[in-house]
Copies of this chain bind each other. A is one copy, B any other.
């Protein structure tokens, strides 16, 4: 796997890790059951503290993206199968509103905003 950090971005390291893993999963580069590097190994590669990686893995598990088992490792979970659709919608709506508000703020047209979202969905590829 390819994970790289931007120390000068101001974004916390564990958040950078989380978003990169999420993107990899969303794009299909990581599939259900795939194993992620151990906390210590990844920490050694990136020259950071193992606990920082652990923090990212804990958050990912809380979000249902991965599953961590002591002694075993950290794996990609199967995508929130038990979650009701209404709950999914509830989680996603704030992000949709954010995009809508910011887009309108920039005086972009409805079509331009929607098109940009479709482009990003296409970039992710995977299973449409």
Chain B residue nearest in CB terms to A26 = B104
CA distance A99 to B107 in the complex (A): 19
Interface on chain A toward B: helix, strand, loop, or mixed SS?
helix
Interface size in chain A (residues, C-beta < 8 A): 44
Q: Which residues of B contact A128 (CB under 8 A)?
A: 109-110
CA distance A110 to B123 in the complex (A): 12
For this complex, 13 residue pairs linking A to B, each with C-beta atoms less than 8 Å apart, are A22-B102, A26-B105, A79-B105, A92-B99, A92-B103, A95-B95, A95-B102, A97-B123, A99-B99, A103-B121, A110-B128, A113-B117, A114-B121
Closest 8 CB pairs of A and B: A26-B104, A100-B120, A79-B107, A88-B106, A95-B99, A96-B116, A26-B101, A96-B120
